[in-house]
Amino acid sequence: MSTRTSLARRMGKVLAVGGVVAGALLATAPAQAAEATVPCSDGWICLYEHRDGRGASIAFHERSAGSDDLSKIPCPECQGGGTWDDRMSSYVNKTSRTWWAYDTAHGIGERHNLNPVDIVVNLGSRDEDQVSAIYPWG
């Protein structure tokens, strides 16, 4: 509990400085990433590279602004490297807010509502690997 809390605090500090945070800290736990229930701390929305919370992950704090352009966030842990653009396939939203995910950077294109939820939600097959921007709403 204290470890997870301090991790969240540290990531929150990074967020406050950089605006966004890459999920390297969460992604370095391969043993946990393979489990059906993926750890995601309260107050965070966690995005996953693959369905069922598998693969690399990235987390945004509920007080952050999200990301206007996920191609600006590197994902060295992702399959083939690259960035978080067109990567997300599942998520857990442990914030109190609905988040908006867009298929195109800068909030353009099709929007998906990511409502608060404690379990991993897979995007539809048509929507996975499409998200390019994500913002908290409300």
Is residue 132 a contact point for Ca ion (CB under 5 A)? Answer: yes
Residues 87-106 within binding reach of Ca ion (CB under 5 A): 103
Q: Does 62 bind Ca ion (CB under 5 A)?
A: no
Contacts of 136 (CB under 8 A, 6+ apart): 45, 60, 62, 64, 65, 66, 95, 97, 98, 99, 100
**92 or 123: CB nearest Ca ion:** 123
Among 52, 68, 69, 86, binds Ca ion (CB under 5 A): 86
Contacts of 93 (CB under 8 A, 6+ apart): 45, 99, 114, 115, 116, 117, 121
With residue 2 as reference, give the H or E element that holds it: helix 2-18
The residue count for binding Ca ion (CB under 5 A) is 4
> x/- string (CB under 5 A) for Ca ion, residues 3-42?
----------------------------------------
Contact residues for Ca ion (CB under 5 A)?
86, 103, 130, 132
